[in-house]
Structure 1
Amino acid sequence: MRHCMFCMDSEDIASLCASLSISECDGHVQLLDGKIMAEAINRLSLCVVGKVLSRKIVNRDAFIRVIGKIWQIKQGMDIKPVTGNTFSFHFRDEHDLKVVSGSPWCFDNALIVLERPVSMGTIDSLVLNQADFWVQIHQVPLLCMTMEIGRFLGGMIGIVLEVYGGTSGDCVGKFLRIRVQVDITRPLKRYLQVDIFENKTETIMVLRYERLPNHCFRCEMVDHTTSECREKESGPIVNGKEVFPFGI
């Protein structure tokens, strides 16, 4: 059976390429012109790939229509479906590209994971397993309300991008606020356990994720909602309803 190339997704095409047998009749290896490459590299530098973390296929037309309005792009942007819930975004201006730093972004209450391609920009090389969040760390003793300790505590959550010091530059207030790159292939941390004085006395610090979209209250993963969870073990039933181990 012949396959229409426009009906095949990237995985089908990759499998087809892997099965090809290259012969001399297919021609010799050609070098791309430097000028053409420079233009292509510049275009790739303004490209971002994003994936909507949902186990249901999103409405592509609605996504393309809505996301431009959410991001408030000024110079225009081209959005192309790649495969499933994955899209490529080609910006026309470096300033508009900064919208990526405003993550987390959501569509239909599902998290959008963004990654900038490098090298040749092959889709298979993208991991799409990191998301940036502002995380509030509550119940922090006054002794630990410093920039340095904030960076240490943030490192227990993920890769620290920024420690918010407020207008004074010092960590003062009800909680520490840390910008963290989180590994979304693992359950979200709910709290931190710290032995401050190394005397085996445990201090519990509670985490709150700002702008956290719908996620699973059963297993605390952000790549699906509770109704989509495939976890076999359910929580205890109280008054006819399941009590989830994680909450809002």
Structure 2
Amino acid sequence: MDDIANKCAGLRLSKREESEVDLTPPMAEMRYVLAGKFCTKRRVSLELMARVLKSVWRTKKNFEVCDMGEKKVLFQFKDEKDLDRVLLLSPWSFNKYLVVLHKLGEGEAVNKLKFCRASFWVQIHGLPTMSQTRGAGLRIGGILGVVEKVDVDEKGFRLGGYFCIRVSMDITQPLCRGRLVHIGRSLLTWVDFKYERLPIFCYWCGKVDHDERDCI
């Protein structure tokens, strides 16, 4: 091991190797790309998947699909508004399995992405009506992940049987079914979480990145 380390320490780049190549694209060449991963070990038909997603996404302009292998796909959009709308309306599923989407940034490589986060709208049931506030949504949502939005009115309240928060969650962790919360100094109550548009998930461990047939 020491011999290998000593040999590597003596390596030097040649003048041709150390010259840099500028790959910064001009603005006109910028592309709007979503990287996606299908949370299933089943075979995914690229042609069928593209046809289904084009029908449900209903983008104003067309987009191209590129298979990257290992259930990973690139979606190249012609209009950034189409891309942003698809992200905003997520989560999406194909054959009832979750499709994790990530907006590809400059310098990112698909094979380096972990695809471990997805955003869900979560209904919070069981809170007293007057406790359905923006602050309550932020505090409760903070145990689930990163709160992106709390569905309240301009005064910061939501009147109704429940209220919703949008949360970016780590999908490698089990779904949380609810939480005990303190109301005031003495009242302790249980609130239920109901996930909107929840895809197939594992009933054994509660994770959404596989089903029970693939659970270890």
TM-score (norm 1): 0.74
| 3-state SS of 1:202 partner | strand
> Within 1, Cα distance between the matches of 2:13 and 2:154?
66
Partner of 1:29: 19
Deviates more, 1:218-227 or 1:206-215: 218-227
Report 1:109-128 matches (<5 A).
109-128=96-115
Tell me the SS of whatever aligns to 2:183.
Answer: coil
2:92 aligns with one of 105, 108, 114 = 105
Match of 1:235 in 2: none
- Aligned partners of 2:152 and 2:158 also within 8 Å: yes
Corresponding residue SS for 1:58: coil
User: What percent identity do the matched residue pairs reach?
Assistant: 31
Q: Structure 1 or 2: larger strand share?
A: 2
Residues 1:155 and 2:142 aligned together: yes
Give runs of ≥4 in structure 1 deviating > 4 Å.
Answer: 21-28, 166-169
Q: Distance in 1 between matches of 2:171 and 2:110?
A: 19
Query: Mind listing any 5+ residue stretches in structure 2 that lack a counterpart?
Result: 1-10
- Tell whether 2:175 aligns with 1:188: yes
Greater RCO, CA 8 A, separation 6+: 2
Cα distance in structure 1, aligned partners of 2:21 and 2:96? 45
2:60 matched residue in structure 1: 74
Cα deviation, residue 184, structure 1: 0.3
Partner residue of 2:39?
53
Task: Quote the residue 1:4 is aligned against.
Answer: none
Q: CA RMSD in A?
A: 2.4
- 1:175 is aligned to 162
| Equivalent-residue separation in structure 2 for 1:65 and 1:30 (angstroms) | 41
Letter in 1 for 2:67: P
Question: What is the CA–CA distance in structure 1 between the aligned matches of 2:153 and 2:20, rounded to whole Å?
Answer: 55
SS at match of 1:74: coil
Deviations 1:189-248 (A, max 9, x none): 00011233355x532100000000111112111011223323xxxxxxxxxxxxxxxxxx
Aligned to 1:139: 126
Q: Look up the SS of the partner of 1:111 in the other structure.
A: strand
Alignment-derived partner of residue 12 in structure 1: none
Q: Is the 8 A contact 2:121 2:195 kept in 1?
A: yes
* Equivalent AA in structure 1 for residue 45 of structure 2: N
Native 8 Å contact 1:163 1:179 kept in 2: yes
SS of corresponding position for 1:195: strand
Alpha-carbon distance in 2 for matches of 1:95, 1:159: 23
Residue 201 of structure 2 is aligned to residue 211 of structure 1: no
- Kindly state the Cα deviation for residue 167 of structure 1 after the two structures are TM-superposed: 8.2
CA separation of 1:69 and 1:160: change in aligned 2, threshold 3 A: same
TM-score scaled to structure 2, two decimals?
A: 0.85
SS of structure 1 residue aligned to 2:159? coil
- 2: CA distance, partners of 1:190 / 1:166: 26
Q: Which residue, out of 51, 62, 85, partners 2:71?
A: 85
AA aligned to 1:132 is: S
Cα gap change, 1:72 to 1:27, in 2 (>3 Å) = same
List gaps (5 residues or longer) in structure 1. Answer: 1-20, 231-248
Which range moved further: 80-89 or 160-169? Answer: 160-169
Total equivalences in the alignment: 205
Amino acid at match of 2:58: Q
